[in-house]
């Protein structure tokens, strides 16, 4: 089902990215909000304890935000790819996808490298790539090769663990769209839905990749089969999604779910939250209107830039300003809050520059690659097809 362009989609992406920033700020300054290492004493940290035990964790749930990104990517890529039933466009999108993601990712690793040098972090905090230890070459290798094709991790910029999933998920979406337009094999999305959990169970792929692929395919299905829903159903789905996004493995508000899912509560609830939140917003007119404001659209426009550069800023400027505020006020909470505010403002200011100087240039570069390589690819495929036909 083809939907009109939703400004709300940009807002979803923007607010989800802000959730990631808050998640990492909380891990740095208020770790008991997550309590991954064990619960805090309520008498010592009453506020953090209260939030952790409540369902309010959704507003700093970076894991939920990542799955929202994946569902949105599946939806948006499908929407663009199947428009006008143009299979050549899908081939072009496939060719462009890696350079589109790689250029900003590479720039973020280089930025992180220089941030480490500028703030002279302790050697224990610096990345170690063996022969590439803490080097510019290591940063380039990480951003171009490692995060996309090998480990899927970056010690220069830890948020890049999603890039490999984003690339593989995108290729799966393009394959599904090409199949829908050209090949027309039946039940192919269902095959991915069924086989992906099996691949995780048999440890052929890791759980994060499996959940990411599943999210992409769900986004594809939303675009193909989604239907507008009324306000009552939409708000119900939305609040279910928020509740699931606030889950933690030891939170008192999730005891019934914990009794079933155990230690998988956090991961699976945050994973499922993306489906409810994205569907509720995209397929409801009231939500579309509500989330079409300038602030949300701006946050969505720079969201990829914010996502890529916020960790180097938090790990350097954030810690640096915290030390200054703590020395001046001698109060941990005050220093942490002020440092968080400075970090957020600095991140969004820098992200606008990064968006213009890097992200938009990455789009131009990927378009150049697509426009250059696609005609050659089409000619080669036509030549191979003709030779196969001639032999038959």
- Which of 197, 193, 189, 160 lies closest to 173, judged by CA? 189
Higher pLDDT, 272 or 118: 272
pLDDT digits (tens, 9 = 90+) for 111-155: 998 887 777 654 444 445 444 446 889 999 999 999 999 999 998
Q: Which residues of 127-165 are buried (b: 16+ CB within 10 A; e: fewer)?
A: bebeebebeeebbbbbbbebbbeeebebbbbebbebbbb
Question: In whole numbers, what is the pLDDT of the chain averaged over residues?
Answer: 92
pLDDT at position 385, please? Answer: 73
Q: What is the mean pLDDT of residues 212-230?
A: 97
DSSP state of 351: H
Calculate what percentage of the chain has a pLDDT beyond 70.
94
- Which of 61, 65, 64, 31 lies closest to 49, judged by CA? 31
Residue with tokens 């899927």: 152
pLDDT at position 39, please? Answer: 84
Q: Where are the domains of the chain?
A: 7-391
pLDDT at position 134, please? Answer: 65
pLDDT digits (tens, 9 = 90+) for 327-373: 999 999 999 999 999 999 999 999 999 999 999 999 999 999 999 99
The residues, any chain, with a CB within 8 Å of residue 203's CB and separated by 6 or more, are: none
| Tokens representing residue 277 in the block | 């939140």
Give me the half-sphere count of Cα atoms (radius 13 Å) on the Cβ side of residue 261: 21
pLDDT at position 7, please? Answer: 86
pLDDT digits (tens, 9 = 90+) for 292-329: 999 999 999 999 999 999 999 998 899 999 999 999 99
State whether residue 320 is helix, strand or coil: helix
User: Quick check: 148 and 101 in contact, CB under 8 A?
Assistant: yes
Q: Is 124 left (phi over 0), alpha (psi -120 to 50) or beta?
A: alpha
* Threshold 0.85, pTM exceeds: yes
């Amino acid at each position: 089902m083809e939907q009109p362009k939703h400004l709300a989609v940009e807002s979803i992406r923007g607010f989800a990215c802000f959730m990631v920033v808050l998640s990492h700020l909380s891990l740095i300054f208020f770790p008991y909000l997550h309590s991954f290492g064990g619960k805090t004493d309520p008498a010592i940290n009453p506020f953090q304890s209260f939030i952790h035990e409540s369902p309010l964790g959704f507003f700093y749930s970076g894991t939920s935000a990542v799955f929202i990104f994946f569902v949105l990517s599946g939806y948006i890529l499908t929407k663009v790819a199947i428009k006008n039933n143009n299979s050549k466009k899908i081939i072009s999108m496939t060719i462009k996808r890696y350079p589109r993601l790689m250029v900003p990712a590479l720039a973020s690793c280089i930025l992180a490298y220089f941030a480490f040098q500028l703030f002279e972090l302790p050697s224990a905090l610096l990345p170690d790539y063996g022969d590439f230890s803490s080097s510019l070459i290591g940063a380039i290798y990480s951003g171009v090769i490692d995060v996309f094709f090998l480990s899927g991790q970056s010690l220069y910029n830890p948020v890049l663990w999603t890039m490999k999933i984003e690339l593989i998920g995108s290729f799966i979406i393009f394959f599904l769209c090409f199949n829908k337009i050209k090949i027309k094999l039946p039940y192919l999305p269902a095959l991915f839905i069924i086989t992906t959990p099996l691949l995780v169970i048999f440890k052929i792929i890791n759980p994060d990749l499996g959940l990411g692929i599943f999210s992409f395919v769900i986004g594809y299905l939303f675009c193909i089969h989604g239907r507008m829903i009324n306000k009552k159903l939409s708000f119900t789905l939305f609040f279910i999604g928020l509740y699931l996004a606030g889950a933690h493995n030891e939170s008192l508000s999730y005891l019934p779910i914990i009794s079933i899912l155990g230690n998988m509560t956090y991961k699976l609830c945050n994973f499922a939250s993306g489906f409810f939140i994205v569907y509720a917003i995209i397929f409801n007119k009231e939500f579309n209107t509500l989330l079409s404001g300038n602030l949300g659209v701006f946050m969505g426009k720079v969201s990829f830039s914010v996502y890529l550069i916020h960790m180097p800023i938090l790990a350097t400027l954030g810690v640096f300003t915290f030390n200054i505020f703590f020395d001046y006020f001698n109060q941990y909470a005050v220093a942490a809050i002020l440092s968080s505010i400075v970090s957020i403002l600095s991140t969004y200011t820098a992200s606008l520059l990064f968006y213009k100087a890097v992200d938009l240039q990455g789009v131009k570069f990927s378009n150049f690659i697509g426009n250059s390589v696609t005609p050659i690819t089409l000619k080669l495929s036509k030549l191979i097809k003709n030779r196969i036909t001639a032999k038959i």
